[in-house]
């Protein structure tokens, strides 16, 4: 049983990624950025940005067709 080139090499069709609409949750970046502020034990404000994969588009930046 021969496997296809896609299965062996991990090649994908770029048109599948760009064919859909841009994800409204991440504006097409594939990432969500969450700003947070914490106060430490010295009463200083610590700011950080958490970057995570967008769950709406699974990091592709485009909503699935369908």
Contact criterion met (CB below 8 Å) for 61 and 28 = yes
pLDDT at 39: 93
> What's the chain's average pLDDT?
80
- Judge residue 26's burial from the number of C-beta atoms within 10 Å of its C-beta, 0-12 exposed, 13-18 middle, 19 or more buried: buried
Cα dihedral 51, 14, 4, 9, rounded to 10, equals -50
CA–CA dist 60, 66 (Å, integer)? 15
Name which residue leads in pLDDT, 20 or 30: 30
Binned at pLDDT 50, 70 and 90, residue 28 comes out as confident
pTM of the model: 0.54
Average pLDDT over residues 25-47: 93
| Domain ranges, ordered by start, for the chain | 25-66
């Amino acid at each position: 049983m021969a496997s296809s080139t896609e299965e062996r090499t991990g090649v994908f069709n770029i048109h599948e990624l760009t064919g859909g609409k841009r994800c409204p949750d991440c504006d097409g970046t594939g990432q969500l950025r969450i700003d947070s502020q914490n106060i430490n034990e010295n009463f200083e404000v610590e700011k950080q940005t958490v970057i995570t994969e967008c769950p709406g588009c699974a990091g592709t930046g485009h909503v699935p067709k369908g």
